Amino acid sequence: MGLESNSKLVEVLGEKGRVSLNDWKEAQWAAIKIRREPITEEELYREASDFMSLFQQAVKEAFLSDIRDPVWLKMREMLSALSISRARRGFTPTEMATFVLSFKQPLFEALKQAHGTDSGALLSDVWMTTVLLDKLGLYCVEEYQKTREAIISRQQKDLLELSTPVVQLWPGVLTLPLIGTLDSERTQLVMERLLQKIVDTGSQIAIIDITGVPTVDTLVAQHLMKTIAAAHLMGAECFLSGISPQIAQTVVHLGVKFGDIVTKATLADAFGLALKRIGLVVIKKSGE
């Protein structure tokens, strides 16, 4: 789809064009100025000028409504970078799309003046540009979405990594403070880490603390029991601590039997027992 012969689009965008960059900038600034913090006026103005000059270049070169064309490469790169930076700063998708879509108003105004009474030509120009700007606007939203998804998936991975540290409390005593949901993928990772660390440190005792686990259902219980059984096989003793009253009652009703697994209400209790098992006693300094 190319421009009609009587199109004035290139003309209004040209050097002596009538599209008022200032008006557009002002309108943009007014739309998002409530959130002054994440963006400065200068920054917005610079972005707006960049957009307009890239738009001019692309239109001058060849007006193509397919924004995947190489003509639009620089524009796509610019919008993509803009979307990424705005997504990180917490802009909404609407604000993101408005950046592009609001360009219609000053552009249409200029076209109207350029075409005068020739409404047929005006309509054709308006239609061409509206299709194009809508595509660029949607492209922005898509890029924005991609960035957000990338952020979310990174955070999920972070959580998976973060919440499974195996900590050495004392030479020979390890603890695994579990926090949050224990679904299959995470539990697998947790189990492997603990067993590996038992080997690496030659620990005799491992304490699994579930203070931070809100729900212990049969699957979670099963995972815990398997981990503890595996630790036993490797010659380490495993205690379970941090069982809150509500979890204790729920587990009883559920019918889960932890059997001969040593359980303690708090991590402190379990640590005390661990010290005892490895033959250590905590003594208060005399005279204090």
Footprint of other proteins (CB under 8 A): 181, 183-185, 214-219, 221-222, 245-247, 249-250, 253-256
Complex with other proteins: residue 105 or 218, whichever CB lies closer: 218
Cβ 51 to other proteins shortest distance, Å: 38
Cβ 246 to other proteins shortest distance, Å: 4
Q: Which residues contact 94 (CB under 8 A, 6 or more apart)?
A: none
Cβ 198 to other proteins shortest distance, Å: 25
Complex with other proteins: residue 145 or 250, whichever CB lies closer: 250
Using CA atoms, how far apart are residues 164 and 62, in angstroms rounded to an integer? 56
Distances (CA, A) of 35 to 22, 41, 215: 20, 11, 40
Select from 105, 110, 54 the least CA-distant residue to 79.
54
Cβ 184 to other proteins shortest distance, Å: 7
Cβ 247 to other proteins shortest distance, Å: 6
Reported as type and span, the H/E element at residue 205 is strand 205-212
Complex with other proteins: residue 159 or 278, whichever CB lies closer: 159
Complex with other proteins: residue 253 or 284, whichever CB lies closer: 253
Cβ 251 to other proteins shortest distance, Å: 8
Complex with other proteins: residue 251 or 274, whichever CB lies closer: 251
Using CA atoms, how far apart are residues 162 and 180, in angstroms rounded to an integer? 11
Using CA atoms, how far apart are residues 127 and 253, in angstroms rounded to an integer? 68
Complex with other proteins: residue 146 or 186, whichever CB lies closer: 186
Complex with other proteins: residue 168 or 222, whichever CB lies closer: 222
Complex with other proteins: residue 188 or 196, whichever CB lies closer: 188
Using CA atoms, how far apart are residues 104 and 36, in angstroms rounded to an integer? 24
Cβ 181 to other proteins shortest distance, Å: 5
CB environment 125-162: b (16+ within 10 A), e (fewer): bbebbeebbebbbebbeebbeebeeeeeeeeeeeeeee
Got the DSSP string for 130-148? HHHHHHHHHHHHHHHHHHH
Using CA atoms, how far apart are residues 106 and 17, in angstroms rounded to an integer? 11
DSSP character at residue 20: -
Cβ 162 to other proteins shortest distance, Å: 17
Q: Where are the alpha helices (DSSP H) in 102-244?
A: 104-115, 119-162, 184-201, 218-233
